[in-house]
């Protein structure tokens, strides 16, 4: 080989080694493998909730759960009283009848020492040192005679009628008793809430009124008139029935305004020395 060519070759190799070579990076191909690499990692799903999770509404410590048990007991005692069975029962007997024997000891203590004792619809009866409970109605009526006595008392003292709901709560076998007293009671439906009210029907007040008088009574319109205006009209006509019935309002007299208090005058003494005595409070006498 030509020695000149060999020299040129060696010189070329030396130059090539001296200059740094920059390699081009390979462009990633759009293969299926690259697509898989580009996909973001999926987040792990949250752990499943336990199936037996506790509901706060029915948990043993919630107030809704506690008062639900109390409400069930009071309703059961009321139903027993309305059926004529209002014998005092122990707490365990009540829980057995209401199918609530699975409650905790803490709940039993709360019922026996707080809720049932302080409930206005429950009466506590002590027998042999043990607390027993029974329903406490609004009125102490048990039969036909006691209901008649109550209605007469309301009528005599002018207290009006009694709500049907209160009688239903208090009187066992109410329908049977009311059926036997149809001639002695009057049912009136209250227009505001459509509740029925019972009044005593006094036989001594049963009298017939002339039809002409009834027409005149109904023809008088008192809509938009208060008691004071009706009273003034009756007084002008010379009718004093409002005063006799006790509906007259007591007039409150205005309080008298307190006048200015006058200064008290005191009796003066030693009038005979007037003009002789001198006052030295402001100008004391000079010392000698």
Q: Output the pLDDT for position 72.
A: 92
- Indicate if 166 and 81 belong to the same structural domain: no
* Summary mean pLDDT of the chain: 77
User: Are 201 and 160 in a shared domain?
Assistant: yes
- For the stretch 67-91, pLDDT in tens is 889 999 999 998 888 888 878 889 9
- For residues 209 and 229, state if they share a domain: yes
pLDDT digit string, tens, across residues 101-132: 888 889 889 988 888 888 989 989 888 888 89
Q: Greater confidence, 22 or 251?
A: 22
In a domain, residue 111? The reply is yes
Nearest CA to 185 out of 172, 198, 196 is that of 198
Looking at the structure, tell me whether residues 163 and 222 fall in a common domain: yes
- DSSP assignment of the chain, as one string? --HHHHHHHHHHHHHHHHSPPPPPPPPPP--HHHHHHHSPPPPPPPPPPPTTPPPTTTSTTSHHHHHHHHHHHHHHHHHHHHTT----B-HHHHHHHTT-TTS-HHHHHHIIIIITTS-TTEEEEEETTEEEEEE--SS---SHHHHHHHHHHHHHTT---EEHHHHHHHSTTHHHHHHHTTTTEEEEE-TTT--EEEEE--GGG-----HHHHHHHHH---TT--HHHHHHHHHHTT--HHHHHT-PPPP-PPPPPPPPPPPPPPPP--GGGTTT----SSSPPPP-
pLDDT band at 204 (very low <50, low <70, confident <90, very high): confident
- Provide the domain count of the chain: 2
CB atoms within 10 A of CB 144: 16
Tell whether the model's pLDDT for residue 278 goes beyond 80: no
Neighbour-count burial of 269, counting CB atoms closer than 10 A to its CB (0-12 exposed, 13-18 middle, 19+ buried): exposed
Residue 71 lies in domain: 63-135
Average pLDDT over residues 134-147: 89
The mean-pLDDT minimum among 98-107, 250-259, 275-284 falls in 250-259
For position 41, what pLDDT does the model report? 62
Residues 183 and 217 in one domain: yes
Residue 97: which CATH number? Answer: 1.10.10.10
Kindly report the pTM of this predicted structure. Answer: 0.50
Q: Is residue 266 part of a domain?
A: no
Q: Select from 189, 188, 167, 169 the least CA-distant residue to 178.
A: 167
Q: Which residue has the tokens 């003066």?
A: 268
Q: What's the token pair of residue 252?
A: 């409150």
Same structural domain, 144 and 130: no
Minimum mean pLDDT among 67-71, 79-83, 134-138, 284-288: which range?
284-288
pLDDT tens for 1-46 read: 677 778 888 888 888 777 766 565 655 555 555 555 555 666 666 6
């Amino acid at each position: 080989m030509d020695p000149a060519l060999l020299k040129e070759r060696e010189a070329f190799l030396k130059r090539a080694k001296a200059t740094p070579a920059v390699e081009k990076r390979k462009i990633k191909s759009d293969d299926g493998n690259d697509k898989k690499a580009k996909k973001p990692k999926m987040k792990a799903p949250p752990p499943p909730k336990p199936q037996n999770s506790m509901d706060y509404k029915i948990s043993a410590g919630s107030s809704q759960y506690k008062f639900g048990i109390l409400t069930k007991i009071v309703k059961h005692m009321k139903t027993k009283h309305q059926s004529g069975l209002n014998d005092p029962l122990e707490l365990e007997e009540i829980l057995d009848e209401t199918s609530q024997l699975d409650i905790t000891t803490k709940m039993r203590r709360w019922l026996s020492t707080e809720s049932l004792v302080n409930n206005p619809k429950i009466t506590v009866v002590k027998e042999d040192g043990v607390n027993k409970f029974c329903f406490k109605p609004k009125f102490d009526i048990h039969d036909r005679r006691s209901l008649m006595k109550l209605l007469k008392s309301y009528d005599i003292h002018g207290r009006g009628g009694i709500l049907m709901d209160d009688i239903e709560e208090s009187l066992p076998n109410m329908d049977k008793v009311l059926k036997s007293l149809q001639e002695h009671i009057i049912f009136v439906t209250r227009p505001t809430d459509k509740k029925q009210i019972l009044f005593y029907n006094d036989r001594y007040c049963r009298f017939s009124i002339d039809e002409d008088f009834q027409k005149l009574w109904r023809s008088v319109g008192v809509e938009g008139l208060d008691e004071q205006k009706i009273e003034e009209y009756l007084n002008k006509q010379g009718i004093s029935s409002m005063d006799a019935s006790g509906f007259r309002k007591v007039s409150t007299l205005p309080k008298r305004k307190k006048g200015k208090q006058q200064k008290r005058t005191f009796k003066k003494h030693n009038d005979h020395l007037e003009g002789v005595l001198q006052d030295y409070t402001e100008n004391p006498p000079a010392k000698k």
